[in-house]
Amino acid sequence: MEADFVIIGSGSAGSAMAYRLGEDGTTSVLVLEFGGSDIGPFIQMPAALSYPMNMARYDWGFQTEPEPHLGGRRLATPRGKVLGGSSSINGMVYVRGHARDFDHWAESGASGWSHADVLPYFKRMESWHGGHSALRGTSGPLHVTRGPRRNPLYHSFVEAGAQAGFELTYDYNGQKQEGFGAMEQTVWHGRRWSAANAYLRPAMRRGNVKVHRCLAERVVIEDGRAVGVEVSRDGAKEIIRARREVIVAASSINTPKILMLSGIGPGAHLAEHGIPLVADRPGVGANLQDHLELYIQQKSLQPITLYRYYNYPAMARIGMQWLLAKVGLGTSNQFESAAFVRSAPGVDYPDIQYHFLPLAVRYDGKSAVKGHGFQAHVGPMRSPSRGTVRLASADPAAAPRILFNYMSHEKDWADFRHCIRLTRELFAQPAFAPYSGDEIQPGAAVQSDDELDGFIREHVESAYHPCGTARIGAKDDPMAVVDPECRVIGVAGLRVADSSIFPRVTNGNLNAPSIMVGEKAADHILGRTPLAPLDGKPWINPRWRESDR
């Protein structure tokens, strides 16, 4: 079995690359995916999002090592083990990131990845249904929509932001990220619009893009060049050959694992596991980043929250509406209002993100209170904490060792204390007066810095945005893993293109920038001239030096 291009992983970036690499019909593309089918209501129905990320059928089931700054807690690290990868189990929230994020990438050595460079790829990938904007795409494979925001609490959240003195924004993915407004989602005609639905299925219909179910164990490297991938299936091993290139797009957890199993990584660590060294790249598995978040929850004085549907008869009705006609509450992820704000004067662009939900519930689907409530998910966007992904053994079937080293800086604690107090300020605004009851969590008694730190230590959770473990940079940067064209430094015929290459985590959820990486990497792989840069100068608050709002 062989193909011109062999892609490891069918996720956000992998599916986008498969679509673009096979677009002209002259090249053969083989996508290697360990997971199974994404067909079924648990994945395809947007409102069912809490199920697939908690199902072993669809999730790799990774956990962190005991996190030393969180009392030794092990945090879940879901990654998609299914067609479409994590785009098939995520929350479907669509956030490009701030323009300054990508300018920072370019300043860090990722030349050609500034905001002006990546903006045309964001436009190419989108079909935006929010109106007309020179900064948004209208004919791409990925449909981007907004929820109906029928529940009045969605509007109360935005109004509360304005009452507290913050900006409003019509389109946080356009020129002005800063502010309160509608949240965007990858949902189309009532279905999850994953990378599998947007990119991979259309690519497979052409006939020259195929998916092979197997476990990719290592990249086969001969005389310094990647020539294929060793895979296993049903106990049998085989080598799948790549006539042109191998591309690893297996997630920021599995990508560094595969590179290290292939002899690419920190030399001393590979020697510990008896793996012959091909390229000593200490940056493989380093620079691991994520977003953490808290749920600040409030009881509702009126029975208008989604809790009224939190019973089996109502959920059955919602499920039937969705199955029969793709209408009703099942067609939204329920994250329909959002905000991006700055934490302090002197911060020039947003560093706090909000998701608002008219229900008090956790990602695992368990209600935090038996009654009506609502919550804001809130967390800082640019934590200085960094972690690692390391091999647990040389066995390709073994899960890697993941340590994010969460909350390892005092700034992390100060930032989260500010997030809690700011959210309390928002919930105390007149817009919430008809609805806002007692605080569920942290609870009104939790006020001092020490008390807030205790709550944070016990309750902070991952927002599931891991990245950075094979970062892009200049060829002479000893910690860079890939060059600005996504080529693995020191190995010919091998590239990495997924969230692993991010030098620093972007503002917001990672599905959109991960797809953008796949789109842009495809042009580099094909040797095409990159799309012409576009001037998308961001709106920066004129009061940023003096005020946080």
Residue stretches of the annotated binding site for FAD? 82, 90-93
Catalytic residues: 465
Between strands 76-77 and 62-63, the pairing is: antiparallel
Strand 292-300 vs strand 264-265: parallel, antiparallel, or unpaired?
unpaired
Q: What are the C-alpha distances in Å from 232 to residues 53, 84, 499?
A: 25, 20, 25
- Separation CA 241–CA 219 (nearest Å): 10
Cα separation, 456 vs 345, in Å, equals 24
List of E strands, 75-190: 76-77, 126-128, 142-146, 179-182, 184-185, 187-188
Residue 480, Cα to own-chain centre: how many angstroms? Answer: 21
Burial label for 148, CB within 10 Å (0-12, 13-18, 19+), is: exposed
Q: CB under 8 Å to 133, separation ≥6 — which residues?
A: 171, 174
Q: Are strands 187-188 and 373-380 parallel, antiparallel or unpaired?
A: unpaired
Closest-CA residue to 53 (of 14, 10, 84): 84
Angle between helices 511-525 and 115-125 (to 10 degrees): 100
Cα 514 from Cα 16, distance rounded (Å) = 9
Classified as helix, coil or strand, 502 is: coil
Q: What are the φ and ψ backbone dihedral angles of 217, each rounded to 5 degrees?
A: -95, -40
Q: Return the SS3 of 439.
A: strand
Tell me how far apart the alpha carbons of residues 184 and 169 are, in angstroms, rounded to a whole number. 12
Asked if residue 506 lies in contact with residue 516, where contact means CB atoms within 8 angstroms, the answer is no
Q: What phi and psi, each to the nearest 5 degrees, are found at residue 440?
A: -80, -55
Q: How far apart are CA 517 and CA 13, in angstroms?
A: 6
How many Å apart are CA 488 and CA 112, to the nearest integer? 17
Which residues is 220 bridged to in the sheet? Answer: 228
